[in-house]
Structure 1
């Protein structure tokens, strides 16, 4: 599945507000779908590159030999899910913003994992 199809599929996840594919080495967003005036996915993607980098540095500094499966940021009304695609796509991550009241976090994580497996960049 290409980037556009992957993002469209991600937006079918119950409660999805927006999704992007981001390169965390450069901070560049490779694709975006959804969002809006209160959710700038380009800015969020660039900011979340720092989250991913910081967590990777921390794991390295405490000698944890493992990979990040996902990072969850819980807000009052939203979930922000970051899924690094390290195993399959190098320095990319999928970023999904969900409406907390309309989403199922476990199903969203499962869906992103499935999308990762089919993504062709």
Structure 2
């Protein structure tokens, strides 16, 4: 599955508002679908890059030998799920999925992002 196909599949998750594949070393979005006036995916990609970097620095400082699977941010009306893809061909990538909280099933969304991420990791 290519990047566009993976992003399209992520948008089929119930409640999906927007999705992006992001390189967290550069902060650049490699592709995105959805978003809109209330969700600028380019801005979200850059901002969530900082979240991921901060978490990675914290783990290193704590000396934890752990791997981040995903990061969840809950807003009053949305869920934002960041799924790290550690085996993405040496890259530092994550999938970012924004969901309408009133329509989303968070457990299912996390499961689907894990499955889609596995395709991207190859």
Q: With the length of structure 1 as denominator, give the TM-score of the two structures.
A: 0.96
RMSD in angstroms over aligned alpha carbons? Answer: 1.2
The separation in 2 between residues aligned to 1:22 and 1:64, in whole angstroms, is 24
Q: Runs of 4 or more off by more than 6 Å in structure 1? A: none
CA-to-aligned-CA distance 1:54-85 (integer Å, 9 cap, x gap): 00000110111011000000000000000110
Q: Which residue of 2 aligns with 1:107?
A: 108
The separation in 1 between residues aligned to 2:121 and 2:37, in whole angstroms, is 29
Q: Which residue of 2 aligns with 1:83?
A: 83
Q: With the length of structure 2 as denominator, give the TM-score of the two structures.
A: 0.96
Structure 1, unmatched stretches of 5+, are none
